[in-house]
A and B are shown apart, each in its own frame.
Chain A
Amino acid sequence: MKNSLLLLPLLLLGVWGFAQSKTGSILLKNGTVLTVTKGTLQNTDVLIVNGKFTQIGKNIVAPAGTKVVDVTGKYVMPGIIDAHSHIAIDAVNEGTAPVTSEVWVGDALDPLDISIYRALAGGITSVHTMHGSANAIGGQCETIKLRYGAYNPEDLRMEGAPRTIKFALGENPMRSHGEGRGIQPRTRMGVEQVIRKAFADARDYDAAWAKYNAEKAANPRALQPVYNRRLETVADILKGNIIVHCHSYRADEIYMLLNVCRDFGVKKLCFQHVNEGFKVAPELAAFGAGASVFADWWAYKFEVYYSTAYNAAILTRNGVVTSINSDDAELMRHLYHEAAKSQHFGGLSDDEALALITINPAKQLGVENRIGSIEVGKEGDVAVFDQHPLSVYAIPQLTIVDGIIRFDRQNDKKDMRLEVDPAQPIPAFNMENYEHVDRCMQGTEDLWYYLFENEKH
């Protein structure tokens, strides 16, 4: 009564759905089509209708009103997928606890990030944007489509993509918590136990709920276990509802997690960076774990000192589903070139190299039925190059997401920001660090602050 006036407008608030992402139709005429899964088709047309590939073949007649683009002499490949990135999010690390499974970078999507456009200009159409690696069990990640131009973060989400979560082994969680705060883990032994404990606690938590659910009908006074999002999320991992993507470098720690996951029945597992994955490639293959690697990054810290740029080739030859990722807003602009390095370092075939940035990351993200190759029925994500995309001279010309052109080199406006700071008409010069900044640790600067302060005191 007292609050009725107050609530009048509020009561009118209903549940509403978000605007549907737009899809488009387009016909690409007479290109060299690199389907990745079904070979290379010369002088072939590709038709996308309402965001899906509907026809791939010769002399396709598009439905009336469909946009037609002549791609004679050009190369048409599936939109590139980056399985490890931190673009388009405002928070990377909730680095305050060794286990933060409850947080989700999907809550912090930033559709205005200029990195999205820059990635499109490198032929990228989908990105696995991830929580950082400060914690042994970090936050949940998000698979997005680069629908640049949208202002609603919901429009970035790849609707229906499986849930994924970031784990991290080795130096980063050891530094954040052991060295930084004097709590476990400080060693790779500790990392194992932190994860085992989280798994075990989650199993208990799940059991407590099962008990409650069984009891509540007979006993209306049964009490619920205290709601715990952290354990609930880990329980979802144990149930196979979330794919684990684990930041890792050394062979021993990779092997450790294989064992832990085996013990707890976790099967959906993909290792990230995994610079020493080549050393345990047969074990990875036997487990069925994926590996998402850098083409040639190494020596930026000790645990990657004994790396080899032949990692992707060794893993591939050993039957591990392997992708090449960026973890970096610059590198992601030329993942096609990173994939090509697997030809220099290990001699992969064109299709094998292209699979590293298309169908393989799609498999690792659980979306291989939707994206990652040019096949009828799949989503119309395409990158068009003027030369073969594995050539260093190739320049992306058109990037199409769900049948909509999101990047067109011919119509690039140069200043492609979606958001402008009117107080600063000419944006500040910002010398990005050209060396590999470990963006996985972004958001833990406060920790450096504390460390630094402590050193001084």
Chain B
Amino acid sequence: MKMRSWIFFFLLNLGAAGLWAQPANPGYKPVTQTYALKNATVVVKPGQTLQMATVIIRDGLIQAVGTNLPIPGDAKVIAADSMFVYAGFIDGLSYAGIPQSRPTAAAGQAGPPQPGQQAQRQANAANPTNEQAGIQPEIKARNVISPQEKSLEDLRKLGFTAAHVVPQGRMLPGSGALFLLTGNTADEMLIRDHTSLFATLNGARGVYPSTVIGVMSKFRELYKQAEQAKMQEAMFAANPAGMAKPANNKSLQAFYPVLDKKLPVYFAVDDIRSFHRVLTLQQELGFPIVMAGLKQGWYVADMIKSKNIPVLLSVDLPKAKETPKPGEKKEGEAAPKVDPEKEQLEARAAEEMKKLESQAAVFAGKGIAFGFATYNGKPAELRDNLRRMIKNGLTEDQALSALTTTPAAMMGMTQALGTVEKGKMANLVVSDKPYFAEKSNVRMVFVQGNLFEYEAPKAAPAAGPARTAGGTPAASVGGKWDYAIDAQGDAYTGVLTISDNAGAISGSWSSNQIPGNNAMINPVLKGNQLTFSSQINMQGQDMTLEFDLQIQGGSFTGKISIPQVGTFDIKGSRQGGPNGLE
């Protein structure tokens, strides 16, 4: 019976693992969509944190947030002790989900043209089709986003749950929409359609408008032509008598909500040059604007503040250079000759890097609300870059605002997104340490109540028995320890045997439910933290268990995580009392 229970325990969770990997297509009906995240540190919103709080999720919404909440009977309880819960992040401007080579807009895409296209384009250089020219504002993100794109998962595993996605292209790639980062279809993903007209200053390749000056002029012309077309359509609608039918140019029609100032233009701005150019257009034409993806923004921060220009900062930063420490030299080598010119140049580069890293802090310091855009950054570097911004003065709350409440407000979705509050969409990110801390890992992401789980990366394997690293040596942890694993109400118990030979740790564990002794693999004792892994075989399937224990005197608490299964709480106490010895 107990043996079966263990197996059931694993199998249940294996099933769940399948479910979590593809929540949108489980293959069978999920048992429950109600979750209780228990005993977590909940960052309700920037500046407001609840300790040991529980978040109840039901039907894709946050049903309750607080301490000492009653757990609904149908809830899957997730012990989130020592975990940190935040509102899911919102990407202010993203290409996530947009296929890289969209055939319908090939002409507007970068990359070498095909020979056939080339001849056609050459002949058409002066009068290209709108498609060749990269002028397709009528394209809707919801019609081109592909739920299978890996870029969606790349963003989601960083903690993003929603993204303002725009089609990719040259001058006018299309209009954007706000999407959830999960769903089987674009419709399922869509939160809010038609949130922006997206524009860039990038010219088409080899055809008009091919340069920034061509794009600037064409934008003005299209804008005015749209005004004319709209006026003509209105006249025709009122009374078509004696009038030619309007041209019904769909690209111009896409401008109409912008003309009415009901739709903002999200303009890609990479640096202050493009910022000023876009500002010039905005001034002349008066359309609502969001400056998206700004770098070098410190030069214009005061202007942005005084004019209240909505802005999304880029998450991109140049790669940090590893600078050799001064005076460091290899043995046998003469001290390197000091090159004052080189030093001066490197100092300038470092200064510029500092400015780039401090951009967000400068904006926050001036009280400018800003979001982040990932379209001109690399997801793999995003968390490092956020930490670099924080090291340079951005507070964690400010960073969180830029990832949650500010983009929510810019999208007009404050009531549904951006905080961990009752009634909001159950978009959450759960990390094992504070999100912005070094070595913190995103462990769970909820997107509209759908759970995605992520493993913590494995620690580098240590060679031989572990030694205590750093700090004052902890008291010997050697001895026998009783443990209990909490698996959703069922307790699994056994004995953990640790041998501590002057800091060199080894040991094994046994279970009251499954036979045999299981050795500790790569045990590392760091201060009070003991980590190791262990392998067991269940029904012919090898499984790796990762133990992470915090030892305090005669007892410990901690976690066991099993890939594809989940994470469970473990606690234990030394046999024979707190000071018992072998």
Contacts and interface: CB of A to CB of B under 8 A. Distances in A.
Contact of B288 (A10, A96, A100, A180): A10
A102 B125 contact: no
A5 interface: yes
A327 interface: no
B330 interface: no
Contacts of A9: 308, 310, 369, 409-410
A420 B211 contact: no
B283 interface: yes
Contacts of A5: 409, 412-414
A425 B346 contact: yes
A104 B353 contact: no
Interface stretch (B202-210, B377-385, B435-443, B544-552): B202-210
Looking at A94, A151, A426, which has the most chain B CB atoms within 10 Å of its CB?
A94
A103 interface: yes
B102 interface: no
Interface string B343-362: 01110111111001000000
B3 interface: no
Nearest to B411: A6
B308 A97 contact: no
A91 B211 contact: yes
A14 interface: yes
Interface stretch (B16-24, B61-69, B221-229): B221-229
A14 B279 CA distance: 12
B126 A94 contact: no
Interface in B505-546: none
Interface in B262-298: 262-264, 272-273, 276-277, 280, 282-283, 286, 288-290
A96 B118 contact: no
B346 A154 contact: no
A151 B289 contact: no
Nearest to A443: B211
Contact of B310 (A10, A98, A110, A443): A10
B26 to A, nearest CB: 34
Interface stretch (A26-34, A218-226, A305-313): A218-226
B225 A91 contact: no
B205 A446 contact: yes
B207 A96 contact: yes
Interface string A136-162: 000100000000000111100000000
B214 A94 contact: yes
Looking at A12, A15, A107, A450, which has the most chain B CB atoms within 10 Å of its CB?
A107
Contacts of B216: 103-104, 107-108
A96 to B, nearest CB: 4
A10 B261 contact: yes
Contacts of A449: 206
A89 B456 CA distance: 49
Contact of B307 (A16, A153, A422): A16
Contacts of B350: 422, 425
B243 interface: yes
Nearest to A225: B228
A96 B203 CA distance: 11
B195 interface: yes
A210 B125 CA distance: 32
Contacts of B282: 13
Looking at A16, A227, A415, A421, which has the most chain B CB atoms within 10 Å of its CB?
A227
B221 A90 contact: no
Nearest to A183: B126
Contact of B318 (A16, A180, A423): A423
A232 B345 CA distance: 48
A93 interface: yes
Contacts of B264: 6-7, 10
Contacts of A98: 126
Contacts of A454: 122
Contact of B289 (A13, A91, A107, A443): A13
A12 B308 contact: yes
Interface in B121-135: 122-123, 125-127
A4 B409 CA distance: 11
Given A7-B288, A96-B126, A112 B273 contact: yes
Contacts, number: 191
Interface in B487-507: none
A265 to B, nearest CB: 25
B307 A14 contact: yes
Contacts of A182: 122-123
Interface residues of A, number: 68
Nearest to B224: A227
A445 to B, nearest CB: 10
Contacts of B115: 453, 457
Interface residues of B, number: 76
Given A227-B224, A229-B217, A94 B412 contact: no
B327 interface: no
B474 interface: no
A13 B126 contact: no
Interface string B403-415: 0000001111110
Given A10-B261, A13-B288, A420 B349 contact: yes
A263 to B, nearest CB: 25
A13 B125 contact: no
Contact of B243 (A3, A96, A221): A221
Nearest to B347: A425
A406 interface: no
B237 interface: no
Contacts of A227: 221, 224-225, 228
Contact of A425 (B214, B308, B321): B321
B220 interface: yes
Nearest to A15: B283
A221 B235 contact: yes
Contacts of B235: 221
A16 B213 contact: no
Contact of B342 (A6, A152, A228, A426): A426
Contacts of A8: 409
Given A6-B195, A102-B217, A107-B212, A421 B318 contact: yes
Contacts of B412: 2-7
A415 B228 contact: no
Looking at B214, B224, B225, which has the most chain A CB atoms within 10 Å of its CB?
B214
Given A221-B242, A426-B345, A153 B276 contact: yes
Contacts of A94: 208-211, 213-214
A151 B345 contact: no
Given A221-B235, A422-B318, A103 B352 contact: no
A152 B300 CA distance: 9
A180 B127 CA distance: 15
Contacts of B290: 10
Contacts of A93: 211
Contacts of B220: 229
A90 B273 contact: yes
Interface string B101-131: 0000000000000010010001101110000
B232 interface: yes
A89 to B, nearest CB: 8
Nearest to A98: B126
Interface in A404-432: 415, 417, 419-427
Counting from the closest, the 8 A-B pairs by CB-CB distance are: A97-B126, A425-B349, A5-B412, A6-B412, A10-B288, A422-B353, A91-B211, A423-B318
Given A102-B217, A103-B214, A151-B272, 11 more contacts: A2-B412, A3-B412, A5-B412, A16-B306, A93-B211, A181-B122, A181-B125, A221-B239, A227-B228, A423-B318, A450-B118
Interface of B: 115, 118, 122-123, 125-127, 195, 205-214, 216-217, 220-221, 224-225, 228, 231-232, 235, 239, 242-244, 261-264, 272-273, 276-277, 280, 282-283, 286, 288-290, 299-300, 303, 306-310, 318-319, 321, 342, 344-346, 348-353, 356, 369, 409-414
7 contacts: A2-B412, A91-B211, A151-B299, A152-B276, A224-B231, A229-B217, A425-B346
